Structure 1
Amino acid sequence: MIDQREAISEKAVLIGVITQLQDETKSEEYLDELEFLTETAGGLTVKRFVQKMEKPNPKTFLGTGKLDEVKSYIEAHGIGTAIFDDELSPAQLRNIEKILDCKILDRTNLILDIFAQRAQTSSAKTQVELAQHQYLLPRLTRLWTHLDKQKGGIGLRGPGETEIETDRRIIRDKIAVLKKKLLTIDKQMAVQRKNRGQMVRVALVGYTNVGKSTLMNVISKSDVFAENKLFATLDTTVRKVVIKNIPFLMTDTVGFIRKLPTQLVESFKSTLDEVREADLLLHVVDISHPNFEDHIASVNVVLADIKCANKPTVMVFNKIDAFEHETIDADDLITEKTKEHYTLEDWEKTWMNDYEIESIFISALNKDNLEDFKEKTYNEVKKIHIERFPYNNFLYDEFSE
């Protein structure tokens, strides 16, 4: 009997490489994430192909032999899509498509497709559309198999213009229109931020699917869309939150990811401005994910790119309810204890002993340690509030008593 999901999902093979910069473990991690991305986009992964090489082939990404192996599998199993874990150049895309004769996507294209599915507001839709057009422009050549010049005739004498040149011009014009539209949206959002007054602003940041929206719902008692899929939230949500006697604004932002397409960073400027203008960052981490430290590093890279690395930050280690670790038998004197064997208590000691970084371990879903989280957030917001409104100091003293 055919699996219902298999019947309705688009079947795909995933393709990655092991290089000097990306060992076997890292390659496997990236492909796990690519499979989750594929599932989020509505696809079904049926097989993975990995090749070990010094660096990807500049013409075909993979070697000829490996591509032939992929081609044979695709033809034998009726697969319609091949997804590569890295961004392909226009030439690579064109050459691979000729060899495999099926739909070819790269990681960037896949992420853009998910963003297009998830975009709800005019702002998000415009930002995604701009990123898609910027990605498409240098790759237009693969869309045309007939590049004959237009026929001559009255008013069309001379070299004419190829269809691809016409399309490039149309897309450039479209990009210009979208950029103007985004400028208007940016101004509107800037006015909205200005109208919020001097209230302290707190932004939830973190890798995609770490539970930011769930935490937002619990703290602000709102109903922000939350789902166990990548990029469930694209549209920035701002809610007023009051803890004890201090009101502040909390913002739920789009999740980051490794190898985040540069087109998205550029087009989502207005969304990232919410992070830039925040007074405090709550960096939410999925402690149950085996590669959470890599996720932290990836988020920090993006924060550095948008000049937010030095903002006051609290590390919020979420999903402690789902945390698991490898155990070592008490009689085992050979196995060396590594991070895979760390208990939750070990991780708490590791992070909480770094006095430069405030941290808290919670479960937003089960509301574990939520009161501690609120207390820590309150103390951090209070520091900023006192600096901004020194004449209100008596309120804190009164409340403390």
Structure 2
Amino acid sequence: MHAPVCFDFNATTPVDERVLRAMLPFLTGEWGNAFSHDHLYGWAAAEAVEEARRQVIDALNVPANGVAIMSGATEALTTVIRSYFGYHGWYRKKIITCATEHDAVLVPSRHLCARTGVALEILPTDRAGRVDLDRLRDSLAPAPASLVALMAANNEIGTIHPMCEIAEIVHAAGGLFLCDTTQAIGKLHFDFEASGADFATVSAHKIYGPKGVGALLIRNGLDDEIEPLILGGGQERGVRGGTLNVPGIVGLGEACRLVQEKIEEDVPRMERLRDRLEDGILSQVPEVWINGDQSNRLCNTSNLGFKGIDGRTLIRDMHDIAVSTRSACSSGHSGPSHVLKAIGLSDEDAYSCIRFSLGRFTTQVEIDYTIDKVVASVHKLRRFKSVRA
């Protein structure tokens, strides 16, 4: 085993070697612009893009014209939110989300609310990070022209939302359902058509593909709801302008193909290793708790609280274990995790939490090494704290 050991796969993943091999020809020999329609280089690039699009469609069960390539999930989410509100009629529209949502939804929603006065409702969650579906129904009743933005699975605590039930509630009220599926793909069985979502997202770098490329998934008949954030040459059927990142798109397609191929193997293996990690720590360290819905969470995610221990101090003491205290996208913010605060933790308890997120390449040897490191560091820090007291 080689240190450091990474348990931060919810932040990003390494590029799978099979993905890299698929990409390499389009970085050197096949380097054409997919919008160059007059010669072989452009034709080869365009063909590669469409093959990658087919791989995404097949892996995630998306309608034939339902994949719009973007730079990642953040752009895809902002595109839908901004498109829904448009440039007029704001007073007739509302967005509904929840307090544990990713900043990629919360920040643009709050921004548009502040700039336009459009209605915004942020639903609370319970201690496990679950949304009250009756509360959602009540919120939709007076405002049928609503966009509901709720993630499939939480990136910090792993809690899984019931996508199909949410979709039924939203559609019964005449609304649209935007589902951030960035963390769900590859960690649970995801079928876009079956989910009921009107829009969903994928980022290649979360599924062992390259950074800087992803896709917006669009239900049939909803293309007209999308107004591009980036205008230009008419790429992606006018949904997103700009020269296509052919190597990245090829990597996205291959990463999605591998998700489909590996899902039956990856999910139970990561769940088994996650449970081994938790059992090993909880059996040896008192006053440790698990955040999130323990009966319905991502197979790879374990968010643990260590009573009386500052999580950042614990991470520094375990210097060769790469873990996090919060989402990578909000790690530059001051204050405790907004997700942990939303589920009811005090500031002190929120600061004591660490997220362990496993990946496709995590081994049992790494799990056992990490258990020993966590146990030793927590006991050491608690002894030091008791001496100082």
Q: TM-score, normalised to structure 2's length? A: 0.28
| Higher RCO (CA-CA < 8 Å; seq separation 6+) | 2
Using structure 1 for the length normalisation, give the TM-score: 0.28
